[in-house]
C-alpha cells in the first residue's frame, strides 16, 4: 500500500471516529464502534493506529490545531469591535467544521465538550488547553487596552475583570445554549456587543 492510500485510510478512520466521539463522548466510543463505522477489521485498524487512545489523541490534536488554537500575534492590534467580529467568525468556523455524518445534530458545545473530555485523559493536552484559555483572556485584555487607547472606553475600568467578563460571555453562551450553529453564535455575538455598549465612553 502506497503512502497516498495509507493517508486516505487514516483520514477516513479519523473522520468516522470524530463523528462517533462528538456523538457518544470520549468514553463512549469502543473499538467495535470504530470498526463498524469504518467497515474495517480490528486488525486493519491497528495497522494504522497502535490503539484507540493514539487514534483519539491524533484526532483531538488535529481538531484543536485546525479550529481552536489562537495566534496571539495576529490579534495583537485588534480593538474590542474587531475582537467581537473575530470571535463570531471563530465560532462560525468551528460550527461549519463539525462533521455532517454524526447520528444527531451537533452544536458548537459538542466540539468544546470533546476537548475537555480529552483533557481529563491527557495531562499534556490539559496544559495545552489551559494555555489556550489564558491566550483568550490575553487577547481580550489587549483588545481592551487598544480600545482604551483609542478613547472608546470609559475610565476607571478594571481591565482584568472586564477581559474575564468577555471570556465568560463566550464560554457561558456555549455551555448554556442548546441552540444549533449560527443561532448560538448570534446569541454570543449579541451578548458581546451589549457588554461593549455598557463599558463604552
Same domain, 100 and 142: yes
Per-residue pLDDT of the chain (201 residues; tens, 9 = 90+): 577 788 899 999 999 999 999 888 889 999 999 999 999 999 999 999 999 999 999 999 988 888 888 888 878 889 999 999 999 998 888 888 777 666 667 777 888 888 899 999 999 999 999 999 899 999 999 999 999 999 999 999 999 999 999 999 998 888 765 555 567 888 899 999 999 999 998
The CATH code of the domain that includes 47 is: 1.10.10.60
Residue 160: inside a domain: yes
pLDDT of residue 179: 55
Alpha carbons within 13 A on the beta-carbon side of 51: 1
The total of other beta-carbon atoms located within 10 Å of residue 79's CB is: 18
Tell me how far apart the alpha carbons of residues 35 and 143 are, in angstroms, rounded to a whole number. Answer: 47
In degrees and rounded to multiples of 5, residue 200 shows phi and psi of -70, 160
In degrees and rounded to multiples of 5, residue 180 shows phi and psi of -105, 140
Residue 58: inside a domain: no
pTM for this entry: 0.84
End-to-end alpha carbon distance in the chain: 64
For Cα atoms 100, 186, 165, give the angle at the middle one, nearest 5 degrees: 115
Same domain, 76 and 103: yes
For Cα atoms 68, 74, 76, give the angle at the middle one, nearest 5 degrees: 110
Amino acid at each position: 500500500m502506497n503512502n497516498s492510500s495509507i493517508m486516505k485510510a487514516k483520514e477516513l478512520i479519523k473522520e468516522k471516529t470524530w463523528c462517533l466521539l462528538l456523538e457518544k463522548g470520549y468514553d463512549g466510543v469502543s473499538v467495535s464502534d470504530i470498526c463498524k463505522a469504518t467497515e474495517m477489521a480490528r486488525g486493519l485498524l491497528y495497522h494504522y493506529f497502535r490503539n484507540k487512545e493514539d487514534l483519539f489523541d491524533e484526532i483531538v490534536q488535529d481538531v484543536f490545531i485546525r479550529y481552536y488554537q489562537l495566534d496571539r500575534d495576529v490579534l495583537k492590534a485588534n480593538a474590542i469591535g474587531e475582537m467581537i467580529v473575530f470571535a463570531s467568525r471563530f465560532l462560525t468556523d468551528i460550527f461549519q467544521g463539525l462533521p455532517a455524518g454524526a447520528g444527531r445534530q451537533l452544536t458548537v458545545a459538542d466540539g468544546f465538550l470533546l476537548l475537555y473530555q480529552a483533557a481529563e485523559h491527557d495531562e499534556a493536552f490539559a496544559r495545552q488547553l489551559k494555555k489556550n484559555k489564558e491566550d483568550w483572556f490575553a487577547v481580550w485584555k489587549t483588545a481592551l487596552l487598544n480600545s482604551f487607547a483609542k478613547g472608546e472606553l470609559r475610565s476607571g475600568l478594571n481591565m482584568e475583570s472586564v477581559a474575564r467578563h468577555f471570556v465568560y460571555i463566550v464560554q457561558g453562551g456555549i455551555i448554556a445554549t442548546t441552540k444549533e450553529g449560527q443561532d448560538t453564535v448570534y446569541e454570543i455575538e449579541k451578548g458581546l456587543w451589549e457588554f461593549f455598549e455598557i463599558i463604552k465612553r
